[in-house]
Amino acid sequence: MGSWLWPGPFGWDEFGLYADLAIKKVNQRFRWIEPGTFLMGSPESEPEHDKDEIQHGVTLTQGYWLADTACSQALWQAVMGKNPAVFQEDPSNPVEHVSWNDTQAFIGELNKLFPGLQACLPTEAQWEYACRAGTTTPFSFGDNITPEKVNYNGEYPYADGEKGLNREKTVPVKSLPPNAWGFYEMHGNVWEWCRDWYGEYPTEAVLDPMGPSEGVSRVLRGGSWFSLGRHARSARRIHLEPDLRSGIIGFRLALGQPEQAGKSARSGQERAGGGNLGQKKTNKNFLTDILVKLKPK
């Protein structure tokens, strides 16, 4: 199902609302995430807890769209015309060997192709909220992980876990199980750049954190194929200079200013002959009504 409101199919599946974006026959799925509150960071009692993971409450007051996978080499190639990755065995592998600055160049080109898309990197808080998918355990899969679920160095398991496979390379996106919200490989495979400058966490609850206004290094999340088990935890943070490239570093797209998507969706619903959608609570409500009304019989 497609619409002039969005340059590709959108609809519902077992994980919720999605919208697909295709560039030169390369598809990227985005998933809608509702506003919400969660505990960011990790408790001191969590095995391998780090001192920069101070647990604190975070409320995200706006819903947002997030890619269900890291950016693939095929998608990067479709936008940029070249492939910088080290592991090029499969175009579905995540693109890596890209700096934070490189991601900004990619995002700039993508936004030129689709004016109004407002592609961006997720904030660190948006990233962790999606990674956790409602959990408070060290991983979205529970208290531990295995190489069957996460691409990391299984020779160095987390806590009291058993040793397992070390693939020593990336795997294609969507080749391992998703979390409860439909996001793939948020643990392991490649570290993912976030929008934020690195800084200390607050000790009190915050709304819509964006990180420091300036800094020297950018945040990365998720761990990689090279990582020890503890580095793939939901709360784990590292930070690197924005011009650094490595075969363990990639990224995942978000779409900024999601409230605009809701406004456009409401306008489109009215043009489609629907009734009043009522007061805006979340953008998902608008898109839900549109999808129901426009769903083929």
Q: What is the CATH number of the domain that holds 168?
A: 3.90.1580.10
Domain count, the chain: 1
How far is it, in rounded angstroms, from Cα 150 to Cα 133? 16
Low-confidence ranges of the chain (pLDDT < 50): 1-4, 258-297
What pLDDT, on the 0 to 100 scale, is given for residue 280? 30
- Domain hosting 254: range is 10-294
Predicted confidence at residue 87, as pLDDT, reads: 98
Q: Is residue 102 included in any domain, yes or no?
A: yes
- Is residue 5 a part of any domain in this protein? no
pLDDT of residue 5: 58
pLDDT at 257: 54
Tell me, what's the pLDDT at 297?
A: 37
What is the model's pLDDT at position 116? 86
Residue 3 is assigned to a structural domain of this protein: no
Q: Is residue 22 part of a domain?
A: yes
Is residue 1 domain-resident?
no
Return the pLDDT at 6.
74
Its pTM stands at 0.87
Per-residue confidence (pLDDT) for residue 258, from 0 to 100: 39
Q: Residue 77: inside a domain, yes or no?
A: yes
In a domain, 226, yes or no: yes
> Would 54 be classed as within a structural domain?
yes
